[in-house]
Amino acid sequence: MQPSAPSASRRVVRVLRTSLFAQVAVALVLGVLVGRLWPGVATDLQPLGDGFTRLIKTIISPLVFCVVVVGIAKAGDLRAFGRIGVKALVWFEVASTFALVIGLLAANLVRPGAGMDVDPATLDTSAVDAKTGGGSLPSAAEFVVNALPTSFVGAFAENSLLQVLVLACLVGAALLHLGHTRVPKVLPAVEQAQEIVFAVVGFVMRLAPIAVFGATAVLIGNYGLGVIETYGKLIALCYAAAALFIALLAVALRMVTGLSLWKFLRYIREEMLLALGTASTESVMPRVMQKLRRAGARDDAVGLVLPTGYSFNLDGASLYLSIGTLFLAQAVGVDLSLGQQVTVILVLMLTSKGMAGIPGSAFLALSATASSLGAVPAGAVALLLGVDRIMDSMRVVTNLLGNCVAVFAVSRWEGALDLERARRVLDGDVPEGREREPEGPRGSEVSRDPEVSQGRADDSQRAGAVTGAVGGIPVQPTKESANGVA
């Protein structure tokens, strides 16, 4: 006699108990309901989202440090790591420039601010000053200097990703220089620390539904749904432009790697929904790094490209800034010439690179762009105060997908992507929780793709010759791959 099928209620309970995606989705709906029905109560739930974000930020710096150090040490070739960095920067600049151009074209076609006829003198700019804290975006020189740490501990204490990356590169290079025989315990210790950090990520992620509930309730409670009616045309344009850009990302990913962006979206659906609920890509960085590594991207490529993209590859922010600049000009009745719009692109190419981690950075970038044009009053930026938070979802999704595509593309470009494993993972053929198969000579799986396999074999021979000459670190089977822990 066959056992009876579980009832519908039991299946629902089981899904809610085991699926993070289902838990976050339910939390999102509950947050909207609470924010809509009891806005006064909803605004008191801010600590739920803030607390989760603080816990995640605590993990990010040590995780990035461990992944980058292990990636460099296992790759056995610092020059390869440098090539990954250069290729990543090239990809970032091309992608963000495309985003800026798409934003300008969309704003010129739709003209979301036309007919508003706003008098800038009537706008209250004090709210903008409060949001930005009276700060300013760093200059190019300041941005470079700020990326250099003043102390080892300070980089972690300030949670500065670029400074942590610099330290990780130095430590990884030192490990290669000293060799395994002189510092035999350092690399295993860093690998073990990495396992601990990933375990902590698992613990913290259990709080994700609570964070999404709190953040969503606060958003709806503070802003309501009326702002969508007031700025409907601008909101629709930004989201449509983002959808177009994501479609272009899908085409680029298919052309460069042969992988499907839609399958990747399904693969990271839990992280994507969490990023939407908390309006933060930082909240999912540890899990996304873990999933990219599991999907065949080599550790050094993931460890360098993804964190760097959080500062240099803000595609969603670039879209928003270009559309927002033209919206402000149209709203106050200023018709920007082609030359001025080219200036907008050039200015935003610089200002968008220094935005990460700065309070009110979008308003600072818009103010700097308006000031450089001389035609749009800087005070007009106050027009976007009511709609900025609604745009977070668009920026988060576009930024996150842009950086993930960059990891796959640069990894493929450098021969650091196991395409066969990536396809199997995205198709769901590798069960969730299965870690990588045993690693090849350069710290990644041996691809069955003939081109990549041959390139890696040649690189391995060269790396072996260098290792014999300078006492580099030979690859050892890691506890992570031996235990099969994700």
290 or 379, which is more confident: 290
Give me the percent of the chain exceeding a pLDDT of 90.
20
Mean pLDDT of the 355-383 span: 69
Over the stretch 128-141, which tens digit does the pLDDT of each residue have? 555 555 555 566 67
* CA neighbours closer than 13 Å in the CB half-sphere of residue 124: 6
Q: What are phi and psi of 149, to 5 degrees?
A: -70, 145
* CA neighbours closer than 13 Å in the CB half-sphere of residue 20: 22
Mean pLDDT of the 211-220 span: 83
Are the C-beta atoms of residues 299 and 444 closer than 8 Å to each other?
Answer: yes
Supply the mean pLDDT for the chain: 78
| Triad 232, 235, 240: Cα angle to 5° | 120
What b/e readout covers 390-420, taking b as 16+ CB neighbours within 10 angstroms? bbbbbbbbbbbbbbbbbbbbbbbbbbbbbbb
- With a cut of 60, say whether residue 6 has pLDDT above it: yes
443 or 17, which is more confident: 17
Q: What is the pLDDT of residue 137?
A: 59
Mean pLDDT of the 346-371 span: 69
Transcribe 51-97 into DSSP letters. Answer: HHHHHHHHHHHHHHHHHHHHHHHHH--HHHHHHHHHHHHHHHHHHHH
Tell me the C-alpha distance between 80 and 68, whole Å: 13
Q: Which of 34-48, 134-148, 149-163, 425-439 has the lowest mean pLDDT?
A: 425-439
Q: Which of 142-156, 347-361, 362-376 has the lowest mean pLDDT?
A: 347-361
Q: Pick the closest to residue 277 from 23, 17, 28 (CA basis).
A: 28
What does the block give as tokens for 211?
A: 């964070």
Over the stretch 393-425, which tens digit does the pLDDT of each residue have? 888 899 999 999 999 999 999 888 999 999 999
Task: Name the band, by pLDDT with cuts 50, 70 and 90, for residue 462.
Answer: very low
Transcribe 159-170 into DSSP letters. Answer: T-HHHHHHHHHH
Give me the percent of the chain exceeding a pLDDT of 70.
76
3-state DSSP: the chain helix, strand, coil percent, rounded to 5? 75, 0, 25
Task: Name the band, by pLDDT with cuts 50, 70 and 90, for residue 361.
Answer: low
Residues contacting residue 92 through CB under 8 Å, at least 6 positions apart = 308, 309, 312, 313, 406
- With a cut of 50, say whether residue 45 has pLDDT above it: yes
pTM of the model: 0.75
* CA–CA distances in Å: residue 223 to residues 122, 169, 227, 238: 22, 43, 7, 18
Q: What is the pLDDT of residue 344?
A: 82
Are the C-beta atoms of residues 406 and 92 closer than 8 Å to each other?
Answer: yes
Over the stretch 341-355, which tens digit does the pLDDT of each residue have? 888 888 887 766 655
Over the stretch 161-196, which tens digit does the pLDDT of each residue have? 888 888 988 898 888 888 777 888 888 999 899 899
- AA letter at 17: R
Task: Name the band, by pLDDT with cuts 50, 70 and 90, for residue 380.
Answer: confident
- AA letter at 459: D
- With a cut of 60, say whether residue 482 has pLDDT above it: no
- With a cut of 80, say whether residue 460 has pLDDT above it: no
Tell me the C-alpha distance between 223 and 239, whole Å: 18
Partners of residue 297 on adjacent β-strands: 417
CA-based radius of gyration for the chain? 24
- With a cut of 50, say whether residue 434 has pLDDT above it: no
- With a cut of 80, say whether residue 201 has pLDDT above it: yes
- With a cut of 80, say whether residue 440 has pLDDT above it: no
What b/e readout covers 300-332, taking b as 16+ CB neighbours within 10 angstroms? bbbbbbbbbbbbbbbbbbbbbbbbbbbbbbbbb
